[in-house]
Chain A
Amino acid sequence: MNTESSTLTIISKISGKSEAFLLQNLSSKGLWDSFLHIDLVLSLEETFKIRFDRDDVAEMTTPEKVLRLIESKLKSDGR
């Protein structure tokens, strides 16, 4: 599973923004609202079999931060 590609696919599906748009706006905030934020958290947890803590959830404000967080979680799990 390609982490970056899978993550962008999930963000795209949840936010309704194309993956191309997300790649051009990796550092942009405000691409999803608070309801979609919860959907994103739950969808990522289910897909990657990981669990975010409260600080992680607060940190996930841009596509780039989400990507880095997923990579870091998977790395610390030895995956």
Chain B
Amino acid sequence: MKIDLQHIIFSSAPTREDLLLHKQPSTGDKFVVQVFRNHTFEHVERLMGLYLDYAGVSIDFHYSGYDDSFSLASLDPEADAVIMWVDSTRYNVAEFDTFITGRLEAVCSNFQRNIFAACFGSNLDISSIHQRTRNQVTLYEFNRLQRKLGADVVDERLEPFSGTKLSASACQFLAKDLGLNYLPSLLLPNLKCIIVDLDNTLYQGVLGEDGIDGVKVSVGHSELQSELKSLAQKGFFICIVSKNDRQDVVDLFKIRDDFKIGSDDFTIISADWNTKASSIEKIALELNIGLDSVLFIDDNMGELLSVHNSHPDVKLIAAQPDALVTVDILRNFPGIFKLHSSAEDALRKADIQSNQKRNTLKASLSLKDYLISIHTNLIFHCNKADHAARISELSCKTNQFIFSYKRYSSAQVLKLIDDPEFAVVSVTLSDSLSDSGIIGAVFVERLPACGTLQECFVSCRALGRGLDELIVLGAIQVALDHLSKTALNIQFCRGPRNAPAESFVETRVRTFLNSINDFHYSIDNSIATVSINQ
């Protein structure tokens, strides 16, 4: 549990010495990040251990020499990410944007994973980079640093010795921002769900004792409510787990018009007397997400410990009496910062809430009648380049219905889309209740004797609607047709949590595992409107 580190980072303001003494964790996910630079990055790296420890990642930084030309001679395609650490003040300003954009494109064409570019002294605009690779590049927003430090960003006095114009304060700020926000988001999937307690967390006071009119919303609590609302709009599931009377909670949100967040902003409200660990588990099941993508915020250390003991993968924030501190922790919590937003982000909550309506309908009708009643619309898209970012996102965060855990980057998806020996079929789903956007994809490679299914994944939001077979087998059929193949072979790799996918394979397509057989699936248009976008 990282609560002790939370206190050091957010409540006691660590000194430079504290940061230098805190080494990176030896446990946690290990990554290699290659740094190309024309000024020193090490002064940032050396202060980053505490933050990476809090984020649960361990990074081995591999450095290039100092090179204003950014020749990228030693680019390692196996690295987990690349950092371009650039001091633009060393160049003729007029030519800088063209030069560095060209170098970024050169990395993109030779490196398949995420690229982080921090161009000090420049307001670089990368809109001229080809749209297909733009999502691969994340630019650091130096105005974050400027807003915090103003003129103290630069220390030219120490530059001849430090190898950078960035001041010590700037390096310390960057260590925190990169260590908590940018690097975890570059290397790990984002969190999906934030579960918040009510009493003394979302407001000041105890609902059961102080009453609906008695609980107080301080400036900090108001800010926390706004922040949660904003995160809901960015696609995070925001839920409540509270030991309170449910009707009191419902009335609270109805009556208190000074709250910045309303009941509609929450995906699930769990207010009862069950243990919080069991309520959190139930929410994760209902949302079809893993507990490792859940963040729980509570002011009660006993509750946090109890949740940690039952579900060690759940991330925790100890809410502080000064809620502004809680807001600061939440804004900087690893896995919250989004590098890019997608259209699916906005659809997510509505889609889950529609699932509850779907379940009610499903209970009253036969499956076929139910699917017809909600006007299900399914489209198979073959090799659609502008789906690459979402396909990559899905491949990286799907854990349950996934066949091989290949975890494609956006650039890798694009490469396969361009490869005539591959068919990448993405599937979009909508019905009269909601538009789910892209919910799955299959990757099929043409081999002499057959098409081989290299990977298949479907979002948890689309599963359990009675469409699993149509989505997966339909997509495979579209891919085989595209590659002019009639025989199929399926690759499957059992993982820690892909039992739903394994069960599907066992019951539907077992004969294609490790052997080649003729495959034909007739797409059933009677339960859904199905179209194919070649």
Contacts and interface: CB of A to CB of B under 8 A. Distances in A.
A37 B160 CA distance: 12
A34 B16 contact: no
Contacts of B20: 39
Interface in B140-184: 157-158, 160-163, 168
A77 B488 CA distance: 83
Contacts of B46: 35
Contacts of A43: 16-17
A40 B43 CA distance: 13
B65 to A, nearest CB: 15
B158 A57 contact: yes
A38 B17 contact: no
A74 interface: no
A35 to B, nearest CB: 6
A57 B16 contact: no
Nearest to A37: B161
Nearest to A45: B168
5 cross-chain pairs, A with B, having the tightest CB-CB distances, nearest first: A38-B162, A42-B168, A54-B157, A57-B161, A35-B42
A48 B327 CA distance: 35
Nearest to B172: A42
Contacts of B163: 34
A76 B16 CA distance: 27
A44 to B, nearest CB: 12
A35 B157 contact: no
Interface string A24-57: 0000000000110111011100100000011001
Q: Which one of A37, A38, A43 has the highest number of Cβ atoms from chain B below 10 Å of its Cβ?
A: A38
B457 to A, nearest CB: 44
25 contacts: A13-B17, A34-B161, A34-B162, A34-B163, A35-B42, A35-B43, A35-B46, A37-B161, A38-B161, A38-B162, A38-B168, A39-B16, A39-B20, A41-B158, A41-B161, A42-B168, A43-B16, A43-B17, A54-B157, A54-B158, A54-B160, A57-B157, A57-B158, A57-B161, A58-B161
Contact of A53 (B42, B157, B162): B157
Given A54-B160, A57-B158, A42 B16 contact: yes
A35 B160 CA distance: 12
Contacts of A38: 43, 158, 161-162, 168
A53 B156 CA distance: 11
Q: Chain B interface secondary structure, helix, strand, loop or mixed?
A: helix
Nearest to A52: B157
Contacts of A41: 158, 161
B172 to A, nearest CB: 10
A38 to B, nearest CB: 5
Contacts of B17: 13, 43
Contacts of A46: 16
Nearest to A10: B17
A43 to B, nearest CB: 7
Given A46-B16, A57-B161, 8 more contacts: A35-B42, A37-B161, A38-B161, A43-B17, A54-B157, A57-B157, A58-B160, A58-B161
B246 to A, nearest CB: 54
Contacts of A13: 17
A18 to B, nearest CB: 17
Interface string B34-64: 0000000011001000000000000000000
A47 B279 CA distance: 51
Nearest to B168: A42
A46 B16 CA distance: 10
Contacts of B157: 53-54, 57
Contacts of B42: 35
B33 to A, nearest CB: 18
Contacts of B168: 38, 42
A58 B161 CA distance: 8
Nearest to B167: A42
Nearest to A53: B157
Contacts of A35: 42-43, 46
A27 to B, nearest CB: 21
A17 to B, nearest CB: 16
A34 B20 CA distance: 15
A52 B89 CA distance: 25
